[in-house]
Structure 1
Amino acid sequence: MTTPTALIAEDEPLLAEGLKADLQVLWPELQVVAVVGDGPAAVTQALAWSPDVLFLDVRMPGITGIEAAAELAEEWPDGRPLPLVVFVTAYDEYALRAFDLAAVDYVLKPVRPDRLGQACERLRAALAARREASGLHPPAELDATLAQLRRLLERNSGAGAAPLTVIQASAGNAIHMVPVGDVLYFEAADKYVRVITADREHLIRTSLRELLPRLDDQRFWQVHRSTVVRADAIAAAHRDEAGKVTLTLRGHPDRLAVSRLYSQRFKAM
């Protein structure tokens, strides 16, 4: 039987070491392959090691544990089962009691051995079920994981500010006032966001994370961690034989990739 593996992402070294020590007692056969201290490192090392389980602190430098899990869901190679995720958090608003599915679990800080032991038992059972299914995640499990991550991202978005009606994009000494209704899509580009309209492109110095709460989520749909598209600018969604979804736009040649995290949105009514 393959030895189960785990990655711990926790920005407080003493807490990380404590969690690792508790796991050695509660789940001796679990091999912790990496311990990292920030969100981007969690993504990089998880892609490198392909662990069976991720223990992710919710509030970490760089990106949150929730954002790291979502990024991994998008970047994870086809044919490999996604890691099972346990969020570790001191903030009860992130508790996952609303989700009765085994794909994602949580433990609160300070981590109690009895609660961690319950999480370990659920993880053992989920990994055993995967082994019986020839090592691949069943479609229902994958759909449940992606649905939970989408809902957690929505809860963590900081929504509530008044929706933007105009984008102010500087170009040299000018500031262009771009009506939000003219924007076909937004795309993250390093420290900027590309603002694409039917006839030109603008750059704004903000992050997509900061921009998202200011957009009407009924009108603008996130379809990838780096892309938000105006829903009524979408002409069609095309699904290839591998299940990957690509969008075509009305009156514009660009094609937009949809990540697996958001592909569920594009189903016939």
Structure 2
Amino acid sequence: MSLDHPTALIADDEPLLREELTRLLAEAWPALEIVAQARNGREAVEMFEALQPDICFLDVHMPGVSGVEAARQIGRRAHLVFVTAFDQYALKAFEHGVLDYLVKPVEPARLADTVSRLQERLGAALPAQATEALLQQLAQHLQQRGTRPSDGPLRWIRASVGPSLRLIPVDEIDFLRSDEKYTLIAWRGDGGQPAEALIRTPLKELLVQLDASQFAQVHRSVVVNLKAVSHVTRGLNETADIHLKGRREVLPVSRSYLHLFKQM
């Protein structure tokens, strides 16, 4: 291990997320060399055995061998950082301080804190019993809950905007609209300004993952965030139009969904 030239491995089943974390690490820790990128836990273990990096960034939930299972095989031979989306149980477990974690979408300030701790820990041995016990506890928890990151509603959506990957918080989405083979995501971007992106996931697949108390289908091709609704105007033939806060778009409400706004 070289304290001047540390090395790391990143494991995530999403290529764009691997690239985004690589970019953020290059900014936060220029001396760190990313020597491998794995698509799953099995690849992570194989690459670790071949390259012996100092640090492993492991997505908790990956198909096949999970990040936690991979970490158990790597053990004390590397400093471990888990990357997780929702799992509050895991976050509480990591608070013991033996292992570190990052929450998706990764924020530069949080990553800077993690980098600072890793720089302090390089060259120091991890407490074996505490680490192994925690990893076993996390692995058992994942087995009980299955491979899904969370049983709750969707909290963020990945979308490519130009050359960049955007991780859009669901709470910031105003509406979603089916657009041929794509789904248009309309949300509040930087500074609260209206922004849009297209993703390949069909609207019907997203709908079942959204919080039904917050998002409502108002047309066969439109789902709206009820918190973004300014007012509703009634039209002819038992239809209506939705006006949004701070946006010019007017969304149609078809007859089948008009009952949602009877009290508005």
2:48 is matched by which residue type in structure 1? A
- Residue 61 of structure 1 deviates from its aligned partner by 2.0
Q: How many Å separate the matches in 1 of 2:18 and 2:50?
A: 20
Q: How many Å separate the matches in 2 of 1:100 and 1:121?
A: 16
Over the matched positions of the two proteins, sequence identity in percent amounts to: 44
Structure 1 partner of 2:79: 84
Structure 2 partner of 1:192: none
Please point out which of 61, 64, 67 is paired with 1:65. 67
4+ long deviations beyond 4 Å: none
Is residue 93–residue 134 contact of structure 2 (8 Å, CA) maintained in 1? no
Q: How many Å separate the matches in 2 of 1:67 and 1:91?
A: 18
Task: In structure 1, list runs of 5 or more residues that go unmatched.
Answer: 74-80, 131-136, 161-269
Structure 1 partner of 2:36: 34
Q: How many Å separate the matches in 1 of 2:117 and 2:128?
A: 16
Structure 2 partner of 1:109: 104
Q: How many Å separate the matches in 2 of 1:89 and 1:53?
A: 17
Q: How many Å separate the matches in 1 of 2:27 and 2:93?
A: 29
- Residue 2 of structure 1 deviates from its aligned partner by 4.2
Please point out which of 115, 124, 140 is paired with 1:120. 115
1:2-13 aligned at under 5 Å gives the runs 2-13=4-15
Q: Secondary structure at the match of 2:113?
A: helix
Task: In structure 2, list runs of 5 or more residues that go unmatched.
Answer: 147-264
- Residue 147 of structure 1 deviates from its aligned partner by 1.6
The TM-score, its normalising length taken from structure 2, stands at 0.51
Change (3 A) 1:28 1:159: closer
Please point out which of 111, 130, 134 is paired with 1:144. 130
**Count of aligned pairs between the two proteins:** 144
- Residue 88 of structure 1 deviates from its aligned partner by 0.6
1:167-186 aligned at under 5 Å gives the runs none
The TM-score, its normalising length taken from structure 1, stands at 0.50
